Chains A and B, each alone.
Chain A
Amino acid sequence: MTTPLVRLDGLSVRYGANTVLDHVDFEIEPGEIVTVVGPNGSGKSTLLRAVIGGITPSAGRVTRGAGLRIGYVPQKLVLDSTLPITVGRFLSLPRRASDARTRDALDRAGVPGLQARQMAALSGGQFQRVLLARALLVQPDLLILDEATAGLDQPGAAAFYRRIEEVRSETGCAVLMVSHDLHVVMSASDRVICLNGHICCEGTPQVVAEAPVYRALFGEGTQGTLALYQHHHDHDHESHNHKTPEDAH
C-alpha cells in the first residue's frame, strides 16, 4: 500500500460554538480523484482548507507527505477592479514562472495564448481555466478544487471536469474537489465522500449514489421523492443544518 499524500485523523473544527467538522478521518492516495459532496454549510470548504493547512483544527491531526506540492483552484476569485494584472503576470505570482512553463500550463488548462490579456477581461470559463493553469504551474502532487465550476453552465462545467481528468492522466497528480455539479463530477471520480459535518458515507460513485444517506441529503431531484423516503440510519442528522432540494442542482 502506498503512503497517502494527506491524512486527517479525527479532525474537528469549531468556529465558536458552531461545530463545522466533527471527527473526520480521511486520506487521499497518489493519483486518486476524490470528490466531496454535501449540502451548504456541511464543512466541505473547511475540509479543503484543513488539507491545505489554512485552518487550525480544534482536535485531531493533519498529516501531509514530506515535500507535498499542492495546486489550489479556489471557488471564485473576486479580483478588485482597481488591480490591473495580465494573465502572464498573474501566473508568475508569487514565484516567477518562465514563459515556456506559463505557455505549457495554459495549454494544459485548455486556454492557450492568453498571456497578454487582462484578468478582468476574461470570461467565467476562461478565468477558471487560468486558475487551473496557475495551480498546474507548481507541478502539483495534489490538485485541490473548491467548487471550481460554480459560475459555469453545465456544458462548461462538464468540459472543465473532462480537462481535469485529462490532466490527471497526463501528470498523475491526485485530485481532491468539492462540487455541486453532482452528476458530472461523480462520473469523473474514483471515490466520493458525502459530508455533512461528519462523513456520512463514502465509496465509489455508484455506492454513494445508492446510499440512503446520500439520497436523504440530495434526493433524486424532487421534493416528492424526498418526502416519501424513509430514513433508516445509525446516526441522526438533527444537529446539522439540512438544506436539501435546491442544493441538488
Chain B
Amino acid sequence: MTRAALAGVGTALAAAPLGCFVVWRRMAYFGDATAHAAILGVALSLALSLPVFVGAMMIALVMAAAVTLLTGRGYAMDTLLGVMAHSALAFGLVAVSFLSGVRIDLMAYLFGDILSVSRIDLAVIWGGALVVVALVAWRWSALLTATLNPDLARASGIAPQREQLVLTLALAVVVAVAIKVVGVLLITAMLIIPAATARPFARTPEAMAIIATILAMIAAWAGLQASYQFDTPTGPTIVCVVAALFAVSSLFDGVRRAG
C-alpha cells in the first residue's frame, strides 16, 4: 500500500510539470501517440527479456522522433499522430499475441497495475521522476521562451528544436514510468488534466506547474484510497479523481468570470 502510494505520487511528480508544457504547446495528441506506442515497447521487452521500462522508453523515443521528422511533410499534425498512435497500439497488441509461452496480463499495461509495483519499479519511477523534474527545471526558461514564440527564442540565442527535443525526451521517460501506474491509455490524462485544473488559479507559469503537481499528487493518493474503498481499478480511479478536480476548477473559474 505504501509502495503503491509512493508510485502514484512519483508518477504525479513526473507528469504534472511536463504536462503544463503539453497543454501550453497543444501537444496532447503527441503525448497520446507516444504513450500508445509504448505498448509495442512492452511486447518487445517481453520478447527480448528486457525490463519493460527500457523497451517502452525506447519505442516512445522512436515514436516521438518519427513524428517530429514527419511533421510538415504533407499531412496535418493531427492526422499524422492519429495514424501513428493507433497503428502503434494495434501493432503492439498484435505483437503481444505472438508471445507464446509468456502469460502476460495485457490489462495491466493498458490501464496500469499499481498494486503490483515492486521495489525496483518504485526505484525506476522515482528515478525517472527526478530526471524529468531536473530536466524541466534546468531548461525551464529556454523551454518557456521557445513555447511563447520560436522566433523570439531564436533571437535570444535559443534553438527551439533543441528544446522540443528536451520535451520529447522527458515525455518518453514519463510514459515509461507511468505505464505501471496508470497504463498507456491513461497517461495523457495524468499529463494534461492536472495542468488544465491548475490554470484558473495561477498567475505565472511557475505557479501553474507547482499547483498542477500538488493537485496530481493529491489525486494519486486519493484515487488509491478510493480504489481500495470501492474495489475499483486503481489507474482509472486516479484519473477519475483528477477529472473531478478539473470539473470543480472549471466551475470555480466559470463562477468567477460571471461574477
Contact = CB atoms under 8 A, between A and B. Distances in A.
Q: A and B, one complex?
A: yes
A93 B163 CA distance: 14
A54 B154 contact: yes
A94 B145 contact: yes
Interface in B195-220: 195-196, 199, 202-205, 207-208
Contacts of B196: 82
Interface in B123-176: 141-142, 144-145, 147-156, 158
B154 A77 contact: no
Contact of B156 (A82, A86, A94, A146): A94
B96 to A, nearest CB: 36
Contacts, number: 70
B26 interface: yes
Contacts of B243: none
A204 interface: no
B24 interface: yes
A90 B152 CA distance: 12
Nearest to A53: B154
B23 interface: yes
Interface in B16-55: 23-26
Nearest to A89: B204
B148 A79 contact: yes
Nearest to B195: A82
B26 A84 contact: no
Nearest to B151: A74
B221 to A, nearest CB: 26
A220 B141 CA distance: 47
B148 A70 contact: no
A95 B141 CA distance: 7
Given A77-B148, A79-B148, A94-B141, A84 B154 contact: no
Interface string A78-94: 01101111100110011
Interface of B: 23-26, 141-142, 144-145, 147-156, 158, 195-196, 199, 202-205, 207-208
